[in-house]
């Protein structure tokens, strides 16, 4: 059982008054050290109160295919009509390296209801997970791509 900060302060303040030992010697130092130890021990957080990052319903590795649904620019800036991608969700945080060549990475939370909406510069990745299935949309100034994803068993 840990002492509360108030009781530790009370013990500490009481220990400042001198005490007489069983043979008449003054015992100021020992209660002072004991009081300091209790005060410092009370200042240490109880492990039960420390935050714990727990796994969430959607944690795991997700993979699937994205289908190009809209080209807004000219040329091949959007890449192929279909593309396979994979990303992870750990402790409720999405980590998605969408396109390493252009530094497009998405990181952000997935909500308890499975929805997410995260940005990387002017690009967005938003969607909805339901159990082990997910529908998502990648949007940039040049392209719109819809993904059908599935969580893989680890």
Cα separation, 134 vs 127, whole angstroms: 7
Look at residue 56 in the predicted model and tell me its pLDDT.
86
Q: Yes or no: say if 148 and 135 are a contact pair by the CB < 8 Å rule.
A: yes
Give the burial class of 114: count Cβ atoms within 10 A of its Cβ; 0-12 exposed, 13-18 middle, 19 or more buried: middle
Rg, the chain, Cα only:
29
Say what the pLDDT of residue 127 is. 98
pLDDT value of residue 75: 72
Angle, CA 122 vertex, CA 121 and CA 128 arms, to 5°: 95
Per-residue pLDDT of the chain (154 residues; tens, 9 = 90+): 544 444 444 443 444 445 545 455 444 554 444 444 444 445 555 544 444 456 789 999 999 999 999 998 777 788 899 999 999 999 999 999 999 988 999 999 999 999 999 999 999 999 999 999 999 999 999 999 999 999 986 5
List of residues 6+ apart from 110 with CB closer than 8 A: 56, 58, 89, 92, 93, 94, 116, 129
What token pair was written down for 130?
A: 């339901």
All residues at 6 or more sequence positions from 117 whose CB lies less than 8 Å from its CB, including other chains:
108, 124, 125, 126
Q: What pLDDT score does 54 carry?
A: 63
Buried b (16+ CB within 10 A) or exposed e, 137-146: bbbbeebbbb
Q: Tell me 125's DSSP state.
A: E
Set out the domains of the chain in order of their start, with CATH numbers.
5-49 (no CATH), 60-152 (2.40.128.80)
């Amino acid at each position: 059982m840990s002492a509360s900060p108030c009781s530790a302060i009370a013990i500490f303040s009481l220990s400042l008054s001198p005490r007489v030992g069983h043979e008449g010697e003054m015992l100021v130092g020992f209660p002072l050290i004991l009081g300091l130890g209790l005060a410092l021990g009370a200042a240490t957080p109880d492990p039960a109160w420390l935050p714990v990052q727990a796994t969430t319903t959607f944690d795991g590795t997700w993979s699937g295919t994205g289908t190009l649904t809209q080209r807004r620019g000219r040329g091949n800036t959007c890449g192929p009509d279909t593309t396979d991608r994979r990303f992870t969700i750990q402790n409720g945080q999405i980590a998605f390296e969408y396109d390493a060549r252009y530094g497009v990475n998405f990181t952000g939370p997935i909500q308890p209801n499975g929805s997410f909406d995260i940005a990387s510069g002017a690009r967005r990745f938003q969607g909805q997970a339901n159990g082990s299935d997910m529908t998502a949309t990648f949007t940039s100034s040049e392209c719109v791509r819809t993904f059908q994803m599935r969580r893989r068993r680890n």
